[in-house]
């Protein structure tokens, strides 16, 4: 086995999946409704938002996935169907029922998701006609349309795929995601949909998904706000014909690592397309006492508005970085901390190094910036992805709803 390789495409890259994206006129005058279908019943697993206020589609989908199987996914953008009371729950169930009717399967086999404004009811008439339209348009080449239809403030659609060999069979994993604001970890942030033709037990699918989420979507933050609608789901239809993965053997690990790669790729795309972002920022923490500590430090720095505005201003203000390390809650030793911006060591043993501002500026002018924090307290490491904080973040969010 040689690991995995990236291939072009998205959710319809694996055999047996069709998708479409259509204009349902829910809020935008552009594609805003997507359907993805597996030709055969598929093993399914998902992780959802940890926000205590969960949108109706999250509540419905978590019930529908209890049996570990699904056939199709329907997603709308423009309205989150969150904080919509009893009517919202009825609408979410109806959304699944209508889709199931069109596809001749059970409502329980439908995974639903919504994204957009909180507190507004779904325009059911337009939604239903959109679903019918989308089902009519399902195609093996519809993945890109689907990726476009789930965007809200996203500037670019986000899709990726990898393939790898298992038992002499080619297995593919394709995925798409959306997310630009209201993004914070502690869950599969935002919406992400992954399809694979791998043959796998649904419990192991869930285990692999959780593993991948913790190392990808849960490492992204744009603004520290955990949404009511975050959902990450994978369908695996088994058409690759590999020997069914039923234990945590080598095959499982190959799949899990490939899945983690798909999730990481999408997660980085989300950070890069953060609302108003001009730069992708990777925060690496090493030599921490534990993974949890490393993660807490990485996320504190990634969430700091002051760090993010300094990066927008291309200012090597490492004092803000070390300040965030200090309030992360982790018992760091201030006198042991080293900080690098790109290759430039800006702080050593918790104090300035007399680094070259010019070199640091060159690093900060780039599109992708890595900040490395060495705690010198153990051997655990973690990373977080974020973006810089620009005028446009404020602009986008000052008039998003209106």
| Residues annotated as catalytic (active site), given as ranges | 189
- Which of 84, 114, 163, 172 touches a second copy (CB under 8 A)? 84
Under rule CB under 8 A, which residues in 155-184 are in contact with a second copy?
A: 181-182, 184
- Which of 16, 57, 88, 174 touches a second copy (CB under 8 A)? 88
Q: Which stretch binds a second copy (CB under 8 A): 34-42, 100-108, 281-289, 303-311?
A: 303-311
Strand partners, 62: none
Residues 6+ apart with CB under 8 A from 215: 260, 263, 264
- Which of 28, 211, 291, 400 touches a second copy (CB under 8 A)? 400
Q: Where are the beta strands (DSSP E) in 291-388?
A: 338-341, 344-348, 351-352, 368-374, 380-387
Site membership for a second copy, residue 118 (CB under 8 A)? yes
Under rule CB under 8 A, which residues in 336-375 are in contact with a second copy?
A: 347, 349-352
Residue 310's nearest CA partner among 281, 334, 332, 338 is: 281
Site membership for a second copy, residue 66 (CB under 8 A)? no
Site membership for a second copy, residue 188 (CB under 8 A)? no
Q: Which stretch binds a second copy (CB under 8 A): 84-92, 123-131, 241-249, 366-374?
A: 84-92
- Which of 224, 241, 289, 378 touches a second copy (CB under 8 A)? 224
The two tokens of residue 282 are 């990777």
The Cα-based distances of 234 to 31, 54, 68, 209, 346 in angstroms read 22, 20, 10, 8, 42
Q: How far is the CB of 310 from a second copy (least distance, A)?
A: 7
Q: Is the CB of residue 153 less than 8 Å from the CB of residue 180?
A: yes
Complex with a second copy: residue 6 or 401, whichever CB lies closer: 401
- Which of 83, 105, 124, 380 touches a second copy (CB under 8 A)? 83
Site membership for a second copy, residue 385 (CB under 8 A)? no
Q: How far is the CB of 388 from a second copy (least distance, A)?
A: 9
Site membership for a second copy, residue 153 (CB under 8 A)? no
Under rule CB under 8 A, which residues in 242-301 are in contact with a second copy?
A: none
Residues 6+ apart with CB under 8 A from 283: 298, 301, 302, 370, 371, 373, 383, 384, 385, 386
Q: Is the CB of residue 181 less than 8 Å from the CB of residue 222?
A: yes
Q: Which stretch binds a second copy (CB under 8 A): 4-12, 202-210, 279-287, 321-329?
A: 321-329
Taking each helix axis from N to C terminus, what angle separates 85-103 and 124-136, rounded to the nearest 10 degrees? 20
- Which of 7, 319, 336, 345 touches a second copy (CB under 8 A)? 319
Q: Which stretch binds a second copy (CB under 8 A): 47-55, 146-154, 254-262, 281-289?
A: 47-55
Q: Is the CB of residue 328 less than 8 Å from the CB of residue 340?
A: no
With residue 144 as reference, give the H or E element that holds it.
helix 143-149
Cα diameter, the chain? 68
- 351 CB burial (10 A radius; 0-12, 13-18, 19+): exposed
Site membership for a second copy, residue 395 (CB under 8 A)? yes
The Cα-based distances of 188 to 49, 205, 229, 303, 345 in angstroms read 7, 15, 10, 17, 33
d(CA 350, CA 311): 20
Site membership for a second copy, residue 50 (CB under 8 A)? yes
Q: How far is the CB of 337 from a second copy (least distance, A)?
A: 8
Q: Which stretch binds a second copy (CB under 8 A): 79-87, 133-141, 155-163, 254-262?
A: 79-87
Q: How far is the CB of 163 from a second copy (least distance, A)?
A: 37
Q: How far is the CB of 242 from a second copy (least distance, A)?
A: 39
HSE, side-chain direction, 13 A CA sphere, residue 44: 29
Site membership for a second copy, residue 327 (CB under 8 A)? yes
Residues binding a second copy (CB under 8 A) = 50-54, 80, 82-85, 88, 117-121, 181-182, 184, 186, 223-228, 303-306, 309-310, 312-313, 315, 317-320, 322-327, 330-332, 334-335, 347, 349-352, 389-391, 393-395, 397-402
């Amino acid at each position: 086995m040689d690991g995995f390789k990236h291939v072009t495409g998205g959710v319809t890259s694996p055999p047996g999946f069709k998708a479409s994206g259509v204009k349902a006129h829910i809020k935008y005058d552009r594609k805003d409704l997507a359907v993805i279908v597996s030709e055969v019943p598929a093993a399914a697993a998902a992780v959802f938002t940890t926000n205590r206020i969960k949108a109706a589609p999250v509540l419905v989908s978590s019930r529908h996935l209890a049996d570990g199987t699904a056939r199709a996914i329907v997603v709308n953008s423009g309205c989150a169907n969150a904080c919509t009371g009893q009517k919202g729950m009825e609408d979410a169930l109806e959304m699944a029922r209508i889709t199931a009717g069109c596809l001749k399967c059970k409502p329980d086999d439908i995974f639903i998701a919504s994204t957009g404004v909180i507190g507004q009811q779904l325009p059911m008439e337009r939604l239903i006609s959109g679903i019918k339209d989308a089902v009519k348009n399902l195609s093996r080449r519809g993945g890109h349309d689907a990726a476009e239809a789930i965007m809200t403030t996203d500037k670019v659609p986000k899709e990726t795929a990898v393939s790898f060999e298992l038992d002499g069979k080619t297995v593919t994993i394709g995925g798409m995601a959306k997310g630009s604001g209201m993004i914070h970890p502690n869950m599969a942030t935002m919406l992400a949909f992954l399809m694979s033709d791998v043959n796998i037990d649904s419990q192991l699918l869930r285990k692999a998904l959780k593993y991948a989420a913790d190392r990808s979507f849960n490492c992204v933050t744009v603004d520290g706000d955990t949404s009511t609608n975050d959902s990450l789901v994978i369908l695996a239809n088994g058409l690759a014909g590999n020997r069914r993965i039923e234990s945590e053997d080598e095959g499982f690990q190959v799949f899990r690592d490939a899945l983690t790669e798909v999730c990481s790729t999408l997660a980085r795309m989300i950070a890069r397309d953060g609302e108003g972002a001009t730069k992708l920022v990777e925060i690496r923490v090493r030599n921490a006492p534990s993974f949890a500590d490393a993660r807490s430090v990485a996320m504190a720095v990634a969430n700091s508005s002051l760090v993010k505005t300094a990066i927008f201003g291309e200012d090597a203000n490492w004092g803000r970085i070390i300040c965030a390390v200090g309030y992360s809650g982790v018992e760091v030793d201030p006198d042991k901390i080293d900080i690098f911006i790109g290759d430039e060591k800006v702080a050593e043993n918790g104090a300035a190094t007399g680094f070259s501002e010019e070199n640091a500026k060159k690093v900060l002018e780039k599109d992708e910036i890595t900040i490395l924090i060495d705690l010198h307290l153990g051997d655990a490491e973690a990373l977080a992805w974020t973006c810089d904080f620009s005028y446009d973040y404020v602009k986008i969010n000052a008039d998003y709803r209106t």
